[in-house]
Amino acid sequence: MLRCSFCGQYPTIKSNKAIHEELSRFWKPFDTIAIPTCPNQDCPNHHIDREKGKTHYHSFGRTNAGSIRYRCKACGRTFITASSPTIRHRKPYKNAAIFRLLVNKVPFRRICEVEGVTMSTLYRKIDFIHRQCIGFAAQRERNLPSMLFARLYIGVDRQDYMINWSDADDRRNIIFRAVGSADNTTGYVLGLHLNFDPSLDPDDIERDAIASGDYEVRPAYRQHARLWLRRDYIEAIKKTRAQRFGIHAGSLRGNIAATYEDVDKRDDVEVFDNLDDDLALPKDGMQVRGEYTMYGHFFFLRKLLDNTEKVRFFLDQDSAFRAACLSAFSDRIREGRCDAFYVRINAEATIDKKRQILADNRRRMAAMKQLHPDLKDWQVKLLMIKEKMAQMVNIGKWQDRWVEHPFPNMGEPEKAMCYLTDIQGYDEDHLAWLYNKASLHAIDRFFMQVRRRLSLLERPVSSSASLGRRWFGYGPYKPVMVGKLLDIFRVFYNFVEVGRDKQTPAMRLGLAKGKITVENIIYYQ
C-alpha cells in the first residue's frame, strides 16, 4: 500500500493498463476515421485533406458504384471516396424520420408503427444512425486538440440508467452510469462515456481471468482490472449490504457532510458503483468498474483539450471525480493551467423553496446596492462573494473548505463550492470570480434533456406484475442500446439542436459554421 507522508492517508492503487484501455476505447473513433487524401506518399498533398477543396484536388468523374473520383493536382494520382452510405438501403428516406423520432421520446414500438418497419429493421436503422453520428462527430472533433481556447469552464456530472431484465429466470435489473462533461459557456458536451464495453464476451473474459490468475491478486494488478468479474461483483454486493450509505440530512451543508461520511465508509474511496441484491451484471458485453471509466474520461479530456490555455473543472461532489481529475491533469495543475472545484446543489428543494431563495437573494442584492451606490452590479456581486468567502466552513474528514454561493437560481438553488486545487495563489478578487463561475448547469441541462427526449432512458417508473418482478416503463432490455442512444443524442444535441440565440453548441464552440441537419449526418461520408 501507498502512504502519503504529508497527510498520512493511504491512496488507492489503480491499474495504468486498465486506464489506458478505457482511454483507448473512448479515443477509438478518432483513430479509425478515414481522411481522404492523395495516396502517393511522396506527394506534398499526401497529408492534406480532400476537404481543403479545389486548391489541391479536383473531381474526376465517378466509379460504376457511384463513388466520386478525385485527381491530385500536384502529382496527378486519382483516388475515390466512399459511395453514399445509404446506397444499399431499400427505404433510405425513413432514416431521417426515425432519427427525429428517436430524439423526441417516441417509444420503439410506436416508431415501428408510425414508419411501418419491423423491430429488427428499426435496430438496423439505429445501428446505421449510430455509425453515422460517431463518424460525423469524430470528423469534426478531431480538430479540437489543435484549437486554441484561452479559457474553458467545464461542468462534470453523471447519470444512472436502468436496464430491464431479459431472462425470466433472473429478474434482476442492470444499472449503468454515464459520466459527462460540458462547456458552461457554449453548452457543448465534450465527452459522454458509459461504464459498459459491448465488444467483450463475459464468458471469454471469465475464462481468461481464471487462467491468468486474476482472482488471486489484488484488483489493480489484474489482467482485467477495469472489468467487473462475476465473483468480485457478488462479494461487493455482500459488503455493500453490510454498510449504510446515502443517509443525508436534508440541508445543503448536512448533505455535503453526509457524502463525506459515505465515502469514508468505502473500502476504496474512488469506487462509486451502485451495488444491490436486485442488480446483476449484463449477459452481453462487460460492465466496467465506474472509477476506471471516470479516469478514462478525464484522460480523454486531457487529449481533447491539449491546446487549451486554462481549463476550470466544476465537479459534482465525489472523491472519484476529484481523484480522476487531479490525476489526469496533475502537471497542468502544477503549471497553473488547470483548476478544479467541487460544486454541490440542493436538488431536493421544492418549487416554493426555490422561489423563496431567489426572493431572499434579490433582497440581499438590493440592500447591498443601497449600501454601495457607487459600485456597479458586478462589483456588488464580487463584494457579496468575498463576504461568503470570509464565512467558509471546513467539512469532512479532509477538512475541505466550502463556501456558499450568494446567487442561486431556479436550476441551482442552495449551491456551495469547494476549491480543490488551491495552490495558485490567486488574489481574493480572482478567486471570487472563479467561485462565481462555479456551476454544473451545462451538463445537468444535457442530462435533463436525455431524460425528456429519449424514451428508453427516462427516469425509471417501477411497475410490478408479480412477486419479485420489477419492470421499468420504457426501459431498455438490450444494454448496448443505452450507449448507442447516448452517442446519437450527444451528436444531435451538439450539432442539430438550436438554442434561443439561433445557434447550436457546436457553432458557439467553433466546430460548425451553421446549423447541421439530421440529413447532413445521415449522408455523411
To which residue does cell 489503480 refer?
14
Whether 141 is in a domain gets the answer no
Residue numbers of the domain that contains 348? 307-321+329-441
* Residue-level pLDDT at 467: 44
**So what's the pLDDT on residue 348?**
73
What is the predicted pLDDT for the residue at 468? 46
Q: Report helix, strand or coil for 28.
A: helix
- The residue among 441, 457, 491 that closes a domain is 441
Mean pLDDT by 10 residues, the chain (525 residues): 74 92 95 76 82 78 75 88 64 87 93 93 93 94 94 96 75 88 98 96 96 93 95 84 55 82 72 72 93 97 95 94 94 94 85 82 86 86 90 88 85 89 87 93 96 88 52 73 96 96 96 93 86
The answer as to whether 469 is a domain residue is no
pTM for this prediction: 0.87
Sheet holding 78-80, edge to edge: 57-62, 68-72, 78-80
- Which of 49, 80, 111 finishes a domain? 80
Per-residue pLDDT, 198: 95
Closest CA to 454 of 422, 488, 480: 488
Asked whether 29 and 193 are in contact (CB, 8 A), the reply is no
Half-sphere exposure of 27 (CA within 13 A, CB side): 18
Q: How far is CA 35 from the centre of its chain?
A: 26
228 lies in some domain: no
Per-residue model confidence (pLDDT) at position 459:
79
The number of distinct structural domains making up the chain is 2
Is 495 part of any domain?
no
In 3D space, the residue among 146, 152, 158 whose CA is nearest the CA of residue 304 turns out to be: 146
Give the separation between CA 441 and CA 76, rounded to whole angstroms: 52
Q: Say if 122 falls within a structural domain.
A: no
The CB-based long-range contact list for 507-510 (8 Å cut-off, 24+ gap) reads: 508/185, 508/186, 508/187, 508/188, 509/183, 509/186, 509/188, 510/147
| Domain presence at residue 344 | yes
Is the distance from CB of 293 to CB of 179 less than 8 angstroms? Answer: yes
Q: Residues near 516 by Cβ (< 8 Å), separated by ≥ 6?
A: 495, 496, 504, 506
pLDDT of residue 166: 66
Identify whether 501 is part of a domain.
no
Query: Domain for residue 88, yes or no?
Result: no
Joined grid coordinates for residue 426: 490567486
For residue 124, what is the enclosing H or E element?
A: helix 119-141
Q: Nine-digit cell at 378?
A: 458586478
Q: Which of 41, 39, 34, 35 is nearest to 71 (CA)?
A: 39
What are the CA-CA distances from residue 363 to residues 238, 322, 416, 450 (Å)?
A: 51, 35, 20, 35
